[in-house]
């Protein structure tokens, strides 16, 4: 089966600019997650979707981050305006969403803020 | 209480040796404990997972030991190989309520040939 696809792989922008990331989950996976992984740390959940509804966005900085999952499949994560501390790898993951089902991760987008 | 504490931060093991990574948690509601392996430039991949109703789970060279009373769990990699060199993350979640996974801070493992 095809894995979780993310694009772009790398993005360099200046602070205060905007950026968007795209994720295509594994076919049939109802649950989609966006994580932020700062260098040297474990991934931190930003937002979790179940189909096209938000389950948990408690750690999403809503003043600058937004995410949507239209039609319950693909998802985009946007940052506007970007800050220096947003430099990180943004990982998308998906799962079937039922009990004890593993999360499958994409290879992420590495964002550098200048 | 939502944290998962992982140690050591980095580990160097000789080829053929045993690699041991330890984790501890506070929230007794956690009921699913996966371990993820991450290679540079790649996303984390599920390695092995355990639920608290068992004390040990083994898959090939990888074993999770779980101590519910001490709220600790560990990953043992037997006969460590250079290809095992990666960053390992322990994690925990309250999976019965589909809550988010909380990741540890990671252990960078290097296997010397």
Distance from C-alpha of B39 to C-alpha of A45, rounded to nearest angstrom = 20
Domain spans of chain B?
4-112
Q: Do B44 and A43 touch (CB under 8 A)?
A: yes
CATH architecture entry for A5-103: Sandwich (2.60)
Counting Cα atoms < 13 Å in the Cβ hemisphere of A108 gives: 22
From the candidates B100, B103, B104, B107, which should be mutated to test the interface with A, based on the most A CB atoms within 10 A? B100
The mean pLDDT value of chain A amounts to 94
Shortest CA gap B98–chain A (Å): 7
Percent of chain B with pLDDT over 70: 95
The whole-number pLDDT of residue A75 equals 97
The whole-number pLDDT of residue A100 equals 75
Distance from C-alpha of A100 to C-alpha of B92, rounded to nearest angstrom = 11
Q: Do B106 and A55 touch (CB under 8 A)?
A: no
Pair of tokens at residue B68: 């519910």
Q: Assign domain B4-112 to its CATH superfamily.
A: Immunoglobulins (2.60.40.10)
Pair of tokens at residue A81: 């305006």
Pair of tokens at residue A36: 């932020």
Domain spans of chain A?
5-103
Per-residue pLDDT of chain A (114 residues; tens, 9 = 90+): 689 999 999 999 999 999 999 999 999 999 999 999 999 999 999 999 998 899 999 999 999 999 999 888 999 999 999 999 999 999 999 998 777 788 999 999 999 999
Closest in B43, B101, B105 to A107, CB measured: B43
């Amino acid at each position: 089966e095809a894995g979780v696809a993310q694009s772009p792989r790398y993005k360099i922008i200046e602070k205060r600019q905007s950026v968007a990331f795209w994720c295509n989950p594994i076919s049939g996976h109802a649950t989609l997650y966006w994580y932020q992984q700062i260098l040297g740390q474990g991934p931190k959940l930003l937002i979790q979707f179940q189909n096209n509804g938000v389950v948990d966005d408690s750690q999403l900085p809503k003043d600058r981050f937004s995410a949507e999952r239209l039609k319950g499949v693909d998802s985009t994560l946007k940052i506007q305006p970007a800050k220096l501390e947003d430099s990180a790898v943004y990982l998308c993951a998906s799962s079937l969403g039922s009990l004890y089902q593993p999360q499958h991760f994409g290879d992420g987008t590495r964002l550098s803020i200048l | 209480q939502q944290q998962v504490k992982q140690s050591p931060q980095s580990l160097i093991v000789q080829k053929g040796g045993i690699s041991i990574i330890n984790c501890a948690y506070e929230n007794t509601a956690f009921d699913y404990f996966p371990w993820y392996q991450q290679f540079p430039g790649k996303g984390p991949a599920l390695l092995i997972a355990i639920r608290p109703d068992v004390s040990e789970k083994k898959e090939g060279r990888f074993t999770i030991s779980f101590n519910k009373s001490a709220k600790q769990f560990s990953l043992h990699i037997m006969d460590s190989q250079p290809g095992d060199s990666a960053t390992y993350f322990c994690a925990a979640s309250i999976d019965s309520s589909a809550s988010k996974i909380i990741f540890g801070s990671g252990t960078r493992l290097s296997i010397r040939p």
